[in-house]
Every structure is written in structure tokens, then in C-alpha cells.
Amino acid sequence: MALFGTDGIRGVANRDLTAELALDVAVAAAHILVEGFADKSVRPRAIVGQDSRASGEFLEAAVVAGLTSAGVDVYRVGVLPTPAIAHLVASTGADLGVMISASHNAMPDNGIKLFQRGGGKLDDAIEAAIEARMGEPWERPTGRGVGRSIVDTDATEVYLKHLLSSLKHPLKGLKIVVDCANGAASYVSPEALRRAGADVVAIFNTPDGWNINDGCGSTYLDKLRAAVVAEKADFGIAHDGDADRCLAVDEKGSDIDGDVIMTILARAAKEAGKLKSDTIVGTVMSNLGFLQAMKSSGINVVTTAVGDRYVLEEMLKNDYSLGGEQSGHVIIREFANTGDGVLTALALAQEVARSGKSLSTLASAMQRFPQILINVKDVAKEKLESSHAISKAVKDAEQTLGDAGRVLLRASGTEPLVRVMVEASSDSLAKEVAEKLVKVVEQELR
């Protein structure tokens, strides 16, 4: 079984993801990512950050130990969003970056995300090379050859200044509720929006090590909906634990997912002449309504596998400027090379302020098709592609839906489950088709 999933390494902290494993990964990553380091008189450098999970404390210690023992100087930036690590790696010229986070997963989980020079996530070949090098014999540096561990007290301010540099229109007059998921954005997201001129009400912004994603954040929007309506706010923003996602709630309390956010940003960018090739990059999970909204706006859509690293690969390959996922990972390539939830929140708020329109009005440009997503847990997900019965069930479902719907089955890259997604012209039809597919998946893969 591969160590790396869709987005790094992830598992239950201290059971699947142990201190020993974290140390081994750090050593192997140091060997792979700093090999061929040109200037032997200067030690390679790494940026290491974490979200607010208590387990991040011992995992950070293990990662730092592994990197420094391999001769890498480590700059520890503390609790910051994942995209902050990507930005800091790129802006400082660091040789690698490590983010300790399990994103939207529950508190007992944790993970390790690695970034290469330039701040990009690792491709599959590099991840495989790191995994292959784990546990190998190696010549350990001694004396002045070992790395140092440095606390970087400027990193948060550097990241905030970067975020604010993306804005050309102030947010004065907007009232925004921000659900920080008791995670990595608990300080920087409200602070960035306040500095941009907005009146900010922050909720779930007091992390204690245990409460990250606990009934809050982008996975649980109920309390944000209630707060937006109660505060009579212009809209609300929700992040996940490591703040690489951004979802929203409009002034009426209606959900605004990543597809709708991308619709708003893509139309604004095209109007301003800043949408390169009049193209946006989405994924196979993009809603049919998003595809239709883009077509009616004269914008091409290129789709990739799920995962913002695959979106970025396509954007870099063809020099596209905007892309993302329904889940709220949005890449604005002028300012970031990964999904950045705080940057996305600022961009969305800027468009509301600039246009003078409500978020619900801007969101009406996309009519979302009813979508049912069911996670089938504890199944042999690796057998999904080889099951003839499942393939036949999918074809039958596609014939039932015709051109007014679609089906997608995919194995999760981070959890032991298969995702069954159905879009249709009505909720009832989507549910009916999805439930039939779930039964077949359960019969075939359990």
C-alpha cells in the first residue's frame, strides 16, 4: 500500500502516523529534495509549519529532528495555513517545505504534506522516490554538518502582507463572518479581512489542540449560516483545518461552494481581461451547472483528476490563471501555486465590494444541478476499477440520466472509502440512482 495519498501522508496520529515514521519521511525527503545541492558551503533550508492539532507538536519535533540530522537548517513557523508554507518556500528560496496537517479530517488524524523548491507540491515520481529511500543506510553529518532549528517569528506577517498585496479594491462597508474551524487560519484569516477594511465577526477561532474541525469549518456550515443571518452580515466564509479551502454562505444563508466561487471569480477575471486563454481548470467533480455557466460566459473548462496538485499541473502546463475544486480549493496563480482559502476569501470579498452586488446575486450566474454524494466506507477501494458489475451499473445509470445528469465513482485518496456521486435534474432522481449504485458497490467490494 502506498504511503502517499492524494494529498500527502495521512492517518491516525501516533498509530498510523508515528513520530518514527515522521522522522524517517523527513530524512528521506531531505535526501531526495536536496540532492545535487550546488553550493556545499551553504546548508539547505526547510520551512516547517503545522495546524492546531495537539499531535502536531510531537510530529513537528520528529520532522525537525529528521531534517536537521540530515544537515538541513529548519525554519519553524508554527501554526499557519498550508498555503502559507507553500508561499514561504517560494518567496524565501527554501529547498523544501513541510506542513503537518490532516486538513478537514477529525482531530485524531494528522498528516504530512511536502513542498519542493518553488513551493509546488510533489509529483507522484518524487513521492515514490522518497518512499523508496526510507530506512536506507546513510552517512550522517556530524559537528558543524548538522542542521539548525530556528523559530521564524516573521513568517505570519510576511504571509499577511502577501495576502493583502493581492487586493486592488478595499473591503470597507462589508460585514463578514469567518468560521476558522479552530484551525490554522484562526488568526490570519480574520486579521487579513480586517486589514483589508471589512467588519469581521470571527467564530471558532480559539484552537485548543483538540477542537479543530469539531462541528465547525467548511465541513459543517450550519453554525456559519445561523451566524450570517443573526449578524445581518453580507456573507460568511468557512475554512477547513489547514485553510487551503474556502466555502461561503450568502446573506440569505445559502451555501456557496467552490464551483460557485470559481464561477464568480472566472467571470470577473474574464471581464477584466485577466483570465488567460479564457480558460478555467476544474476537476471531474465539477458540477454540471458550473460547466454550463462557464459555457454561457464564453469560458472554456479543462478538467483533471480530483486534487489541487493535479489542477495546478494543468495550469502550469498550459499557463492558465485560475482553477480549483468544488470542495473550495481555488488556485489564483497570480498569487499562489496551491489552493489558498484566505486568498480566495479576499478575492471573493473584493468582487462583492467592487461590483456592489450581493453575493447571492453574483452566485445566481450558476444554477447548480442537484448532486448526491455518498461515501461508501470500509470497502476494498482498490478493486473499484476492475469490477465488471460496477461498470455495468454505472453505464445503466448514465442511460437513465441521459444528458441531464452524470455519474462519478472514485476511490478516496486519503480514506478507505469509495465516493459515489450522482447529478440529475431532480434531487429525487439523483438519490434514487445513487442509492442503487451504492448497493452494487457494497455487494462487490465488501
How far is Cα 198 from Cα 407, in angstroms, rounded to an integer?
41
Has 103 been annotated as catalytic?
yes
φ, ψ for residue 275 (rounded to 5)? Answer: -95, 100
Alpha helices for 34-96 (secondary structure H): 55-69, 82-92
Are 111 and 102 contacting, i.e. CB atoms less than 8 angstroms apart? Answer: yes
- Among candidates 150, 125, 48, 120, which has minimal Cα distance to 308? 120
Are 249 and 221 contacting, i.e. CB atoms less than 8 angstroms apart? Answer: yes
3-class DSSP state of 15: coil
Are 101 and 51 contacting, i.e. CB atoms less than 8 angstroms apart? Answer: yes
Give CA separation, 137 vs 2, 31, 63, 134, 274, in Å. 21, 11, 18, 9, 51
Are 425 and 431 contacting, i.e. CB atoms less than 8 angstroms apart? Answer: no
C-alpha cell, 99: 506542513
Spot the catalytic one: 103, 166, 186, 387: 103
Query: Please, how many CA atoms are within 13 Å of residue 206, restricted to the half-sphere of its CB?
Result: 1
3-class SS letters over 325-336: CCCCCEEECCCC
How far is Cα 272 from Cα 164, in angstroms, rounded to an integer?
20
Residues classed as catalytic:
103
